[in-house]
Amino acid sequence: MAPLIVDIHTHVYPPAYMQMLRARKTVPYVHDPADGATPRLIILSSDDDASIPLDQRGRPVDASYSDIEVKLAFMRRHGINSSVISLANPWLDFLAPEEAQTWAERINDDLEATCARVNRAADPENTRALHEKETLYAFGALPLSAPRAEVVVREIQRIKTLPHLRGVIMGTTGLGRGLDDGRLDPVWQALQETDSLLFLHPHYGLPDEAFGGPEAMNRYGHVLPLALGFPLETTIAVTRMFLAGVFDRFPGLKILLAHSGGTLPFLAGRIESCILHERKFVANGGDVPGPRRSVWDVLNTNIYLDAVVYGTAGLKAAVTAAGGADRLLFGTDHPFFPPLGKDDEEWPSVTTNYKAIHAAFDGEGETVAGVLGENAARILKLK
């Protein structure tokens, strides 16, 4: 019997969202070249470079981003049984305050309807086991630009009532000031009370200056912002949450970190050491509260990591930091990182992660099965 495979890191831009991006002229937006060539998706501020012709900015965006049939074909090609889809970055972060709630409800209702339709078609009587069919579940989007945190809280509570939603996805800016913002406490409270998993995902990267300025940054295409900017952003965001005592105040929070935690598993020891040596913290005689729990405790209790790290080195750090492989979950990052050759082949961005998981846990069949799908099925209660 083939193992159950669940993809917990896979994105969509529903058609309504794409239409909204097409009407925009500033990041994020979609541009349709006049010559009928593939539309361009311009989502990163570094993509919107005036020195690049509009028809070449950003990246080509094809049906794989919004057509759920294309995702189902991708799943079949890679042996994936179930995908937990999420709105891709930058989600609803950029919306005007008065539009946020409407769009969140629209997107989440759309995700719920899509999952329901696909799952009914795959198994009308719902009698087959998870590894015998193709199913979809989803993480909901949040109206983070809404005028009040209560709007976000209400949407978290409403998402909990949608049968195919299994948590929420969020970027690193929170309500605009980062994840150590005290105004987020009602949001953490709501996530904890509803036992909703938060999928924390990067988008904003690092300031261009971190890479030597825009020219140096763009010299190598998307490599610096995607390979380094994204994971470093995630690491900074979750470290700020931790330093601000969020995990002390909300010990029941469950957070899934994209890209195996950015670099958190690798840096956890250094973070812990720097905290123990920081004179400013109360525990060391200073006047700043500082975190009460250790990074290791939080990694072993509150954090889940996807296995999207493209190598055994990263996976070994992830599983060691997380205190075991049962907190590690397979993902693909589809539809990003498509093969640059033929479209109908296996995606190297996916097979690299498959191979790494098998190599890192060589001979440990149960561990491999856990990472590939059983962990996700258990943690997200997939049926």
Chain contacts with a second copy (rule: CB under 8 A): 177-178, 180, 206-207, 209-212, 216, 219-224, 226-228, 231-232, 235-236, 239-240, 243-244, 259-260, 263, 265-281, 284-286, 288, 290, 309-314, 316-318, 320-321, 337-338, 340, 348-349, 352, 356
> Least distance (Å) from a second copy to the CB of residue 284?
5
- Give least dist CB 350 to a second copy, A: 10
Shortest reach from residue 371's CB to a second copy, in Å: 15
Give whichever of 86 and 263 is closer to a second copy, judged by the CB atom.
263
Nearer to a second copy, 7 or 110 (CB): 7
Question: Is the separation of the CB atoms in 22 and 68 below 8 Å?
Answer: no
Residue for token digits 């179930």? 82
CA distance 189 to 57: 40
CB of 188 to a second copy, least distance (A): 18
Residue 69 or residue 343: which is nearer to a second copy going by CB?
A: 343
Closer by beta carbon to a second copy, 121 or else 288: 288
Cβ closest to a second copy, residue 192 vs residue 300: 300
- Cis ω for the linkage preceding 28 (within 30 of 0): yes
Q: Which of 175, 184, 185 is nearest to 92 (CA)?
A: 175
Give alpha helix (H) positions in the chain. Answer: 15-22, 68-77, 97-122, 149-161, 185-193, 214-219, 223, 230-243, 246-249, 264-276, 295-301, 312-321, 348-360, 365-369, 375-379
Beta strands 198-200 and 59-60, pairing class: unpaired
Instruction: Give the C-alpha separation, 277 to 274, whole Å.
Output: 5
Question: Smaller CB distance to a second copy: residue 158 or 323?
Answer: 323
Smallest gap from residue 247 Cβ to a second copy (A): 14
Residue 60 in tokens: 């080509």
Q: Which residue is listed with tokens 């570094």?
A: 46
* Least distance in angstroms from the C-beta of 97 to a second copy: 21
CB 380 within 8 A of CB 166: yes
